[in-house]
């Protein structure tokens, strides 16, 4: 059965809309490599560049390098043309949502109107502990996320915003200048089916989650039902998926990749096989596939894989 999103799009051939393909560059890399990868993505036809919002790695060795996201995003906004750009996604626990809205709008002006404000509830415990940032229990984090969405929506849409919630308070707060295009997409990240996807249905322009086609089919169905319950047109929300990419013509490499447990949704195969998986993403209702560079190897191999993906896989879906 076609999802509500299919019906809303009025598409007789389910899943036939065009897709975006975006590049997620790791914030553990040196700045020159971050800039090189993002610049190459923009020059070769990728649609977006994304950057994680974390202060330290989430692993046993948590002392490795990790650049702050919004500082890098602002630098990329000034240096890299054409592509959409934003955090995947900002932790709501790290910054007051009114301050975040101000930061994002500034980046939007630096980029000429290409910023997407990605927002999530926050989750990475080690950095909260290390930096002394409060990490409430999940229900309160989600309460804060919902209020943050209301705060950001108010600031983006009104000349002055009053807000009196349990966690945030605004008194005649301005947001000037407004985004370049008059508004800015609010992306909410996360896959929680009871609260997070309901918040997405109520407030988001875009939604992102790690997922393979099976996961996305299920999650999109849940999101569609939440949209129906809150009276929102499902077609008003763009849906994006993140999956690791391991693409090669080397069957031995692919066999090893299939045996490896990455702990994340992963697309593995030759370009033709990868295209079959992308088709399944499209059938599930995914508008944008985001490819992290985490599994793409050193710079020369990374750029080669990026070029093959955008040249051999992406054209069939645009």
Residues 232-279 pLDDT 10s = 999 999 999 999 999 999 999 999 999 999 999 999 999 999 999 999
Residues 197-239 pLDDT 10s = 999 999 999 999 999 999 999 999 999 999 999 999 999 999 9
SS3 category, 27: coil
User: Could you tell me how many residues make up the chain?
Assistant: 318
Residues 62-105 pLDDT 10s = 778 999 999 999 999 999 999 999 999 999 999 999 999 999 99
- The CATH T-level fold of domain 4-317 is TIM Barrel (3.20.20)
Q: Where are the domains of the chain?
A: 4-317
Q: What torsion do the CA atoms of 153, 159, 165, 171 make, to the nearest 10 degrees?
A: 150
Residue 301 burial by Cβ neighbours in a 10 Å radius (0-12, 13-18, 19+) = exposed
pTM of the complete model: 0.92
For residue 209, how many C-alpha atoms fall within 13 Å in the half-sphere facing its CB? 24
* Residue 48 DSSP symbol: E
The Cα–Cα gap between 92 and 215 comes to 25
- Say if residues 94 and 133 touch (Cβ distance below 8 Å): yes
Nearest to 89 by CA among 233, 219, 206: 206
For residue 86, give both structure tokens.
């934003």
For residue 288, give both structure tokens.
């944008």
């Amino acid at each position: 059965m076609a999802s509500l999103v299919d019906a809303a799009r009025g598409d007789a051939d389910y899943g036939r809309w065009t897709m975006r393909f975006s590049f997620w560059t790791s914030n553990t890399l040196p700045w020159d490599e971050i800039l090189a990868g993002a610049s190459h993505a923009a020059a070769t036809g990728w649609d977006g560049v994304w950057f994680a919002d974390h202060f330290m790695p989430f692993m046993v060795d948590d002392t490795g390098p990790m650049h702050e996201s919004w500082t890098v995003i602002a630098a990329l906004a000034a240096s890299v043309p054409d592509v959409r750009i934003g955090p995947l996604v900002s932790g709501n626990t790290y910054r007051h949502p009114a301050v975040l809205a101000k930061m994002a709008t500034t980046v939007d002006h630096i980029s000429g109107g290409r910023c997407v404000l990605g927002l999530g509830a926050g989750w990475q415990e080690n950095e909260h502990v290390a930096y002394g940032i409060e990490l409430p229990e999940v229900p309160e984090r989600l309460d804060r996320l919902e209020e943050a969405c209301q705060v950001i929506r108010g600031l983006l849409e009104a000349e002055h915003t009053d807000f009196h919630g349990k966690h945030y308070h605004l008194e005649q707060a301005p947001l000037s200048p407004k985004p370049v295009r008059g508004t800015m997409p609010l992306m909410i990240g996360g896959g929680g089916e009871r609260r997070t996807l309901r918040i997405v249905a109520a407030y988001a322009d875009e939604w992102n989650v790690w997922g393979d086609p099976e996961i996305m089919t299920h999650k999109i169905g849940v999101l569609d039902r939440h949209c129906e319950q809150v009276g929102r047109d499902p077609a008003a929300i763009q849906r994006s998926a993140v999956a690791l990419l391991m693409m090669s013509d080397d069957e031995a490499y692919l066999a090893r990749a299939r045996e490896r447990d990455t702990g994340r949704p992963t697309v593995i195969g030759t370009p033709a096989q990868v295209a079959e998986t992308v088709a399944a993403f499209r059938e599930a209702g995914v508008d944008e596939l985001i490819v992290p560079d985490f599994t793409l190897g050193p710079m020369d191999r990374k750029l080669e894989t990026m070029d093959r993906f955008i040249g051999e896989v992406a054209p069939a879906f645009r």
